[in-house]
């Protein structure tokens, strides 16, 4: 890679040991991907608080023990520890070791200067890159949102690279950071009118399933489509396929027209999604062979305050049926607002729980005795029915989840 004088000094250890260690990792990454140079990044969104293995803890501490500090604003993806649950292990039968590992990771990144947002929607917590800004983010749904809705530039990176990028303030320039790799190569015609977030999730799931890592150019979404609909669409597509970047003609920044989004080329793939296709997909995502379920899981990706108000309005005066866990995953800032506005109290009065800063995926729920979950999230339904949890999922819209789980 071609390094500037400053980058050479960073790599030679003339800054500090944390910077040298990080640059060493990033140069190897750049060589691997054939990057020619580095680009300055404006923020990091890191996978820094889910210790599925001891190696994750040791990796974070390998930075903090070198005195490494983040040089750019760094937010955290969801943590493997719900910070507002004081019922360990009665309500969450995880081992204390799990919590200790998570706490060690959080302590390490706190020392390095991270913002402990612990949410998969960093763009709602102040980490909001502008058009063409380069960032180093983890969390597939957030990367899809940054690239597609904001027009920022982010590759799908992983644990370790996020920390090195944050400490160096740089990333090797490759993949979606280059203009030539951002053009669409597949055309998607939506001939179905999505009515709710679950419909957007189903659409995203179909696109991801059929097109994997291709870059779809999508036509036919209604004018009423919101950024929050894109959040759900991108999250589902990133989990069923890859979909780090999609363009929606007339709506997302790199798609003023179909021709522009495709870079003047013919699409390699073409996909039509009509009502029949959506029905088929719903049946596939909803894998359960039973009507019985042990838990309702909402809040994937983490909800906005408007979604929380909607939940409070529907749950008002209702009670969760005995024996059912009803959990809504939520970021700390949205929960604080929801409490301030009284929505949280209404939700909790129904017996539903607002579980702060985490995600069900970080828990070993295969040991909890659950067989079937109900969710309005195509992403949850997709991921929880595969390794390592192998649950069955009932995938329905939010209203139906609440109607079936409460009286
Ligand atoms: Fe967020 Fe977990 Fe869903 S990290 S996007 S709530 S799978």
- d(CA 119, CA 164) in angstroms, rounded, equals 20
The last residue of a domain, from among 179, 196, 215? 179
Q: Which two tokens stand for residue 42?
A: 């404006």
Ligand 1 pocket test target in 231, 332, 359, 362 with most atoms within 8 Å of CB = 359
Taking the centre of ligand 1 as the mean of its atom positions, its distance from the CA of residue 118, in whole angstroms, is 11
Same domain, 194 and 173: no
Q: Which two tokens stand for residue 212?
A: 């994997």
Q: Tell me whether residue 150 is in a domain.
A: yes
Q: Is 367 exposed, middle or buried (0-12, 13-18, 19+ CB in 10 A)?
A: exposed
What are the pLDDT tens digits along the chain (407 aa)?
999 999 999 999 999 999 999 999 999 999 999 999 999 999 999 998 877 778 889 999 999 999 999 999 999 999 987 776 666 566 677 777 888 888 899 999 999 999 999 999 999 999 999 999 999 999 999 999 999 999 999 999 988 999 999 999 999 999 999 999 999 999 999 999 999 999 999 999 999 999 999 999 999 999 999 999 999 999 999 999 999 999 999 999 999 999 999 999 999 999 999 999 999 999 999 999 999 999 999 999 999 999 999 999 999 999 999 999 999 999 999 999 999 999 999 999 999 999 999 999 988 887 888 999 999 999 999 999 988 788 999 999 999 999 999 99
For ligand 1, whether the C-beta of 331 sits within 6 Å is no
Query: Is-contact 320 346, C-beta < 8 A?
Result: no
CATH code for the domain in which residue 248 is found: 3.40.50
Residue that has been written with the tokens 């396929």 in this structure: 241
Same domain, 187 and 303: no
Same domain, 254 and 191: yes
Q: Which two tokens stand for residue 108?
A: 């390490």
- d(CA 95, CA 332) in angstroms, rounded, equals 23
Q: Tell me whether residue 280 is in a domain.
A: no
pLDDT on residue 87: 62
pLDDT on residue 386: 87
Q: Tell me whether residue 138 is in a domain.
A: yes
Q: Are strands 353-356 and 325-330 parallel, antiparallel or unpaired?
A: parallel
Same domain, 199 and 145: no
- d(CA 317, CA 307) in angstroms, rounded, equals 18
Same domain, 235 and 353: no
Full-prediction pTM beyond 0.75? yes
pLDDT on residue 89: 61
Residue 373 makes CB contacts below 8 A (sequence gap 6+) with: 293, 294, 295, 296, 297, 380, 384, 391, 392, 393, 394
Same domain, 107 and 194: no
Same domain, 294 and 346: yes
Same domain, 175 and 189: no
pLDDT on residue 379: 97
Query: How many structural domains are present in the chain?
Result: 3
Same domain, 162 and 188: no
Q: Tell me whether residue 246 is in a domain.
A: yes
For ligand 1, whether the C-beta of 45 sits within 6 Å is no
Same domain, 172 and 26: yes
pLDDT on residue 96: 78
Q: Is 87 exposed, middle or buried (0-12, 13-18, 19+ CB in 10 A)?
A: exposed
For ligand 1, whether the C-beta of 381 sits within 6 Å is no
Domain region containing 270: 183-275
CA angle centred on 336, ends 120 and 97, rounded to 5°: 55
Q: Which two tokens stand for residue 117?
A: 């947002």
CATH code for the domain in which residue 71 is found: 3.30.499.10
Same domain, 57 and 142: yes
Q: Tell me whether residue 281 is in a domain.
A: no
**Atom 3 of ligand 1: nearest residue by CA position:** 300
Residue 403 makes CB contacts below 8 A (sequence gap 6+) with: none
Same domain, 162 and 191: no
pLDDT on residue 69: 98
Cis upstream peptide for 301 (omega within 30°): yes
The last residue of a domain, from among 275, 308, 325? 275
pLDDT on residue 88: 56
Query: Is-contact 373 296, C-beta < 8 A?
Result: yes
The last residue of a domain, from among 179, 198, 219? 179
């Amino acid at each position: 890679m071609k390094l500037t004088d400053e980058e050479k000094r960073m790599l030679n250890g003339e800054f500090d040991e944390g910077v040298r260690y990080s640059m060493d990792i990033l140069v190897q990454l750049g060589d691997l991907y054939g990057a020619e140079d580095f680009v300055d990044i404006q923020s990091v969104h890191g996978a820094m608080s889910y210790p599925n293995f001891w190696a994750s803890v040791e990796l974070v501490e390998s930075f903090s023990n070198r005195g490494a500090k983040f040089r750019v604003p760094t937010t955290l993806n969801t943590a493997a520890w719900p910070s507002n649950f004081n019922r360990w292990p009665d309500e969450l039968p995880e081992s204390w070791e799990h919590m200790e590992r998570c706490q060690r990771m959080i302590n390490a990144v706190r020392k390095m200067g991270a913002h402990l947002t612990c949410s998969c929607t960093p763009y709602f917590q102040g980490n909001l890159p502008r058009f063409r800004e380069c960032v180093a983010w983890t969390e597939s749904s957030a990367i899809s949102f940054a690239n597609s809705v904001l027009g920022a530039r982010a590759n799908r990176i992983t644990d370790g690279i996020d920390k090195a990028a944050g400490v160096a303030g740089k990333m090797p320039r490759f993949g979606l950071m280059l203009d030539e790799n951002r053009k669409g190569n597949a055309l998607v015609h939506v001939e179905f009118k999505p009515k709710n977030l679950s419909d957007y999730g189903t659409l995203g799931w179909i696109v991801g399933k059929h097109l994997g890592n291709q870059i779809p150019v999508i036509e036919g979404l209604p004018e009423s489509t919101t950024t929050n609909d894109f959040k759900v669409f991108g999250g589902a597509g990133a989990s069923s396929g890859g979909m780090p970047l999609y363009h929606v003609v007339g709506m997302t920044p790199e798609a003023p027209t179909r021709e522009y989004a495709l870079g003047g080329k013919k699409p390699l793939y073409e996909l039509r999604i009509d009502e029949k296709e959506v029905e088929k997909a719903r049946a596939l995502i909803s894998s359960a062979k039973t009507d019985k379920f042990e838990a309702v899981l909402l809040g994937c990706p983490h909800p906005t305050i408007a979604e929380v108000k909607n939940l409070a309005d529907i749950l008002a005066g209702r009670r969760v049926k005995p024996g059912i866990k009803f959990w809504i995953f939520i970021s700390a800032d949205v929960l604080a607002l929801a409490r301030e506005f009284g929505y949280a109290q209404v939700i909790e009065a129904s017996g539903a729980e607002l579980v702060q800063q985490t995600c069900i995926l970080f828990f070993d729920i295969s040991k909890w005795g659950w067989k079937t979950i109900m969710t309005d999230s195509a992403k949850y339904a997709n991921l929880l029915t595969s390794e390592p949890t192998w649950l069955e999922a009932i995938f329905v819209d939010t209203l139906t989840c609440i109607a079936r789980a409460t009286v």
